[in-house]
Amino acid sequence: MRLAKPRVAPLDLGTLDADQAEVLAPFQERGPVLNIFATMARAPAALKAFLGWGNYILSRRNSLSPRRRELAILRTGYLCGSGYEWTQHHRIGLNSGLSAAEIETIKGGPDVGQWSPLERAILRACDQLVSDHFVADATWQALEEIGEKGRMDLVFTVGQYTQVSMLLNSFGVQLEADVALDPDLDRR
């Protein structure tokens, strides 16, 4: 976490205007509204557009398998120093076929751990996209197995979660009360 308290506080769910209530209704129907959505709902039109793209990234329309997608999301969140993103996707990663040990190893990058050549290339692409906003030719070639759409979806995924990490960090979105921050991401 970069900030100990929010710069942009989550909305009080008891005082929503009509647009905010509409965009948060699906979340309220499923249970508690996460702080990210209660914060972003301060700009309901932006949240609605954000959800459309985010739903593509997290859907089966994204050609990356859930494991590969979460590998990319977790590496991107870690590189961006987003404690909130890391915490949320740690759980999702476990449900997508990554082990707790693999998730911990993601922090070390593509040259640490027992990754397959393709998984190393995914991690390396994340590093390159976050640091240079470009996938090097050798890495692009190493991603050949996932094809053109897979490469595109990888760039889309890293781009989406770089943006998510930026807004979480800059708005100061705080973790939900029932989760703990990974000490490696406490950057206050």
Provide CB contacts within 8 A for 76, sequence distance 6+.
Answer: 85, 126, 129, 130, 157, 158, 161, 162, 165
What pLDDT sits at residue 187?
Answer: 78
d(CA 53, CA 128): 22
Question: How many residues belong to the chain?
Answer: 188
Contact, 40 vs 50, CB < 8 A?
A: yes
Whole-model pTM: value is 0.94
Contact, 85 vs 77, CB < 8 A?
A: yes
pLDDT tens by residue, 64-99: 999 999 999 999 999 999 999 999 999 999 999 999
